[in-house]
């Protein structure tokens, strides 16, 4: 499995089928116990047989941000709302793919020539945007893209510059790729890899997975906002692409276990794996579900720094993606 295939798969929250199929096919070659639960999570378990070892889960989410069709206009345009957190400013003029037939469309707004002064001074909300699929009337639009059809940005995977990659859904297909690499490892205790659903709309898939698995240790593999561009002072930069995987001490959904937080840094230094500390308490992820479900779990988050996250083009450094997987595997081997 490669990153291009994962990022170009269609998988907004609640419609992860295409991504799940890819992961099931890849995981079946690496693990003898692969299942799908009622939330659509893919759960891979490798039982090492040593009860003295802590049970460990590594988790990443399959879903991506996207859109959903909520209406049709008389002249064949689609009304829509975001699925997950998508700033409408990054949506205007972007190509999208809509529905199971992957109908091509362009997100549009009133031309600047026609906007009032008040329009130009505010961010146009989704009620002022539409998806143009080239339909001539409402009935054609309804047939091609019925209510409830999902849409995602139509963005090709592109490697560019000094080891950078631009793609949609790096958040969190980078984590899914790392999980597949972890599945190649042997561990004396119980190892689980959880590919979870609907993270972008409230950590929904991981809630059920957390209650089911009840692991001692959970390491969540994510993508996170970098905020390293322009004149941003270093103290306000969350993390920087190219400086390694970001280890979080806290975000808006969980607080890292202090021993895990320290141990991950020690392992990274021992194995010369580039890492950095995520320097801001921002966002939230599936660690919140695992930390607070059932008996709870010791958690920490390893993230790949991503520029322009939650947009049609995420940008990350390939070396940071490798560092995420390297650190996860080295940590598992250190237990």
Q: Which domains does the chain have, with CATH numbers?
A: 3-64+168-334 (3.40.630.10), 66-153 (2.40.30.40)
Q: How confident is the model at residue 234 (pLDDT cuts 50, 70, 90)?
A: confident
Give 244-274 pLDDT, tens digit per residue.
999 999 998 999 999 999 999 999 999 999 9
Q: What average pLDDT does range 292-314 have in this prediction? A: 94
Q: How far is CA 87 from CA 83, 90, 123, 308, in A?
A: 11, 6, 9, 11
Q: How confident is the model at residue 52 (pLDDT cuts 50, 70, 90)?
A: confident
CB neighbourhood size of 117 (10 A): 6
Whether 101 is a known active-site residue: answer: no
Inform me whether the pLDDT recorded for 119 exceeds 70: no
CA 328 to chain centroid, in Å, comes to 17
Query: Which is the catalytic residue, given 16, 64, 190, 199?
Result: 199
Q: Which of 225, 174, 245, 176 is nearest to 205 (CA)?
A: 176
CA angle, 333 then 241 then 221, to 5°: 40
Q: How confident is the model at residue 87 (pLDDT cuts 50, 70, 90)?
A: very high
């Amino acid at each position: 499995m490669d990153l291009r295939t994962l990022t170009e798969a269609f998988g907004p929250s609640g419609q992860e089928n295409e991504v799940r199929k890819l992961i099931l096919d890849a995981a079946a070659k690496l693990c003898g116990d692969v299942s799908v639960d009622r939330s659509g999570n893919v759960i891979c378990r490798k039982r090492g047989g040593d009860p003295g070892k802590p049970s460990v889960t590594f988790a990443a989410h399959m879903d991506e941000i996207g859109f959903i069709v909520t209406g049709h206009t008389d002249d064949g345009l689609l009304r829509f709302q975001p699925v997950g957190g998508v700033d409408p400013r990054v949506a205007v003029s972007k190509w999208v793919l809509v529905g199971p037939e992957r109908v091509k469309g362009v997100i549009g707004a009133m031309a600047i020539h026609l906007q009032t002064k008040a329009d130009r001074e505010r961010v146009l909300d989704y009620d002022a945007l539409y998806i143009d699929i080239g339909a001539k009337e409402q009935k054609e639009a309804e047939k091609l893209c019925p209510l409830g059809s999902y849409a995602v940005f139509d963005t090709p995977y592109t490697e560019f510059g000094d080891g950078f990659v631009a793609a949609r859904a790096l958040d969190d297909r980078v984590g899914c790729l790392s999980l597949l690499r972890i599945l190649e490892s042997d561990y004396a205790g119980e190892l689980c890899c959880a590919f979870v659903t609907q993270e972008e709309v409230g950590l929904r898939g991981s809630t059920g997975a957390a209650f089911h698995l009840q692991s001692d240790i959970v390491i969540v593999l994510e993508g996170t906002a970098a905020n390293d561009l322009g004149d941003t002072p270093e103290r306000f930069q969350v993390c920087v692409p190219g400086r390694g995987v970001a280890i979080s001490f806290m975000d808006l959904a969980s607080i890292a276990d202090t021993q895990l937080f320290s141990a991950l840094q020690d392992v990274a230094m021992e194995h010369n794996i580039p890492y950095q500390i995520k320097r801001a308490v921002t966002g939230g992820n599936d660690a919140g579900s695992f930390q607070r479900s059932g008996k709870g779990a010791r958690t920490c988050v390893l993230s790949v720094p991503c520029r322009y996250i939650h947009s049609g083009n995420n940008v990350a450094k390939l070396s940071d993606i490798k560092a995420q997987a390297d650190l996860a595997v080295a940590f598992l081997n250190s237990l």
